[in-house]
Structure 1
Amino acid sequence: MTNSLSELQLHEVEIHYKRPVLNDKLKIKSSENSVRLLRQFIDTKRIDYKEFFWVLLLNNNNQLLGISEIAMGTTNGVTVNIKEVFQLALLTNATSIIVAHNHPSGKLTASDSDKRITQKLKKASKLLDLTLLDHLIITSEDFMSYSDSKWE
């Protein structure tokens, strides 16, 4: 059975965006500031239990547009849907993002997997004219910032 174009029901895709009131938005000024805001959003009782991955969405004045939990993993890792990170960035009209995940082990050393996902995010950000400002690794006690450590 073949359908001609005239028989198909086509749906228009529309984008609706209303910029939030900027006076109400928090401004990100440093990695410490990012972590403090993130800790207000996340359930800190769960970060020693399993890995989570979050994205902070920012405008070009580094004002926070929103925070989203992208994924929940296991004690040993989390699978990140990069597509979802950028869907959120585009839908909120963000110009930059900060990503973060936790290490239940308490270790602040970036794994090879952490480094690979950061490189993928940096590459994809450039294609979409977005800036990846930082990748944070947090534990109950402390945090590590890729940006502060010169993206090593």
Structure 2
Amino acid sequence: MENNTNQSKQFEVAEIELSYKSSVKPSSRAKISSSKDAGALLMQSWDMSKIELVEQFKILFVNRANRVLGIYELSTGGMSATVVDPKLIFVAALKVGASGIILSHNHPSGNLTPSQADISFTKRISEGGKLLEIQLMDHIIVTSESYYSFADEGLL
């Protein structure tokens, strides 16, 4: 009898549930039609007491109509970097059913120029998104004064 109990415990697995609940009506969701729209929305979501102190990474998710599904703060790091796991970008995008994503991070230094690491990371995420049919629409670097758009600068 004990053997049966041990065997049944071997096959216990967690139940996985996927859900996305929004309190914003679809008709009330912001629409992104340019980097200016995305930059302004991202700046509204940034904690200005941290923008010049620590690097943070956020993702803006949109549906097929470019309506904003939400903004997710993926990580907060130190003064010069933050760790971003690409898997978590796509886990979140899939969970909300996003058709497009806009990556964003701040440069506490105030320098808007993307680093080589920023550029190569962006290319990797763009390639990963293609497989999942999730378009990387832009990567925006923000500072307390302005923003830099990879899409506007031809880096996407």
Q: Same fold (TM over 0.5)?
A: yes
Q: Distance in 2 between matches of 1:103 and 1:6?
A: 50
CA offsets per residue over residues 59-91 of structure 1, 9 Å max, x none? 000000000110111111111111111111001
* Number of residue-to-residue matches in the alignment: 151
- 1:117 Cα offset (Å): 1.1
Q: Distance in 2 between matches of 1:22 and 1:119?
A: 31
> Does the alignment pair 1:21 with 2:28?
no
Q: Which amino acid letter does the alignment assign opposite residue 103 of structure 1?
A: H
Q: Is the 8 A contact 2:59 2:101 kept in 1?
A: yes
Identity of aligned residues (%): 36
Q: Distance in 2 between matches of 1:65 and 1:49?
A: 28
Q: Is the 8 A contact 1:51 1:72 kept in 2?
A: yes
Corresponding residue for residue 53 of structure 2? 49
1:1-152 maps to which residues of 2 (within 5 A)? Answer: 4=7, 8-17=11-20, 21-151=25-155
- 1:24 Cα offset (Å): 1.5
Q: Give me the TM-score of the superposition, normalised by structure 2.
A: 0.88
Unaligned runs of 5+ in 1: none
**Could you say what secondary structure the match of 1:57 adopts?**
strand
CA offsets per residue over residues 81-107 of structure 1, 9 Å max, x none? 111111110010010000000111111
Q: Give me the TM-score of the superposition, normalised by structure 1.
A: 0.91
- 1:125 Cα offset (Å): 0.4
Q: Which amino acid letter does the alignment assign opposite residue 11 of structure 2?
A: L
Structure number with the higher helix fraction is 2
- 1:136 Cα offset (Å): 0.4
Q: Is the 8 A contact 2:19 2:96 kept in 1?
A: no
Deviating beyond 6 angstroms after TM superposition, the runs of 4 or more aligned structure 1 residues are none
**Could you say what secondary structure the match of 1:98 adopts?**
strand
Unaligned runs of 5+ in 2: none
Aligned-residue CA RMSD (Å): 1.9
